[in-house]
Chain A
Amino acid sequence: MRSGVTIFPGSNCDRDIIVALKNITGKAPIKMWHKDTEFPNLDLIVIPGGFSFGDYLRCGALAARSPVIKNIKNHISRGGAVLGICNGFQILIEAGILPGSLIRNKKLLFTCRDTMLEIQNTIKSPFLSGLKKEHHLNIPVAHNEGNFFASETLLNELKNDGRIAFKYIKEVNNNTDYNPNGSSNDIAGILSKNGRVLGMMPHPERAINNLYGGTDGLKFLTKSFEQIIG
């Protein structure tokens, strides 16, 4: 699989996803500096987590106007897959590639902890079609602005069109605080209309080894990559 990882000033999860991509696919991704515009055709572009441009103005706002974004939009129009993780999700929304908004966490806390994700019934998407819906994914979040906010109209549209990818769910015996940020309808990730762009707040690259506390992220990424090249 030919993949690329964007890097903005303030990206800080780029190395982790590069390691994951290299370990899983056996091939290192290319690094896509935000000012660069010329790249080879790729199967997957990952926009990693971090604090691009120091989260100035709004999270992801300045990154979403960077030169590299034009290349990402061309890649999407060619049917390419894009995965935006955390700040990458914020950037996809700010760039107008995914709808809605990600606002401050309801409790004003930067939340860094495991979350349990339920896979939703969605349109055909390479990110989800290899996974079994009854298997929940334990993947950590780490963010301050992950509270997905949208109009009722948009929330209904996302649900009816099968574009809600993941929801935070309550584990057995877990407390009621299962939604880490207060997001509408417990939404943790959404898809583009064609299912080939996924934005998610949880960090799968932080759950790829038992030393990290779990391997559900590895499972998710491995299945996604199989489907993308398949």
Chain B
Amino acid sequence: MKVIVNISLKEGVLDPEGQAIKTSLSNLGFENLNDVRTGKQIILNFVNLEENEAVLEAKKMCEDLLVNSVIEKYKINILRN
């Protein structure tokens, strides 16, 4: 079973990559943007775990390694086949 972790920067943390993308989009004529924020996605493929166990394990992984809680927040979703 796959669990998807979406990690993004917290509000108020500078995202220079997002800003650069926004500038580039503006140059292409996309003017209706207030802000662009980037993030990353991690797909965890679990074996032998129930859904709730997998989510709990993913949460612990986020806290131990995957997420820097000083600057980042995360959301966990289950990918059902």
Enumerate chain A interface residues (CB-CB to B < 8 A): 57-58, 61-62, 65, 94, 100-101, 103-108, 147, 149-150, 182
In the complex, what's the smallest C-beta–C-beta distance from A53 to chain B, in angstroms? Answer: 12
In the complex, what's the smallest C-beta–C-beta distance from B5 to chain A, in angstroms? Answer: 12
- Which residues between 12 and 55 of chain B lie within 8 Å of chain A, taking CB atoms? 13-14, 16-17, 20
Which of these, B13, B16, B71, contacts A107 with CB under 8 Å?
Answer: B16
Which of these, A62, A108, A149, A182, contacts B13 with CB under 8 Å?
Answer: A149
Complexed CA–CA distance, A74 and B17 (Å): 38
- Grouping DSSP codes into helix (H, G, I), strand (E, B) and loop, the B interface class, with mixed when no group exceeds half, is helix
Q: Please give 17 more A-B residue pairs, beta carbons under 8 A apart, in addition to A57-B65, A107-B16.
A: A58-B68, A61-B68, A62-B65, A65-B65, A94-B68, A101-B68, A101-B70, A101-B71, A104-B17, A105-B16, A106-B16, A108-B17, A108-B20, A147-B14, A149-B13, A149-B71, A150-B70
**Chain A residues, Cβ within 8 Å of B17:** 104, 108
B78 an interface residue at 8 Å Cβ cutoff? no
Complexed CA–CA distance, A155 and B33 (Å): 32
Which of chain B's residues has its CB closest to A104's CB?
B16
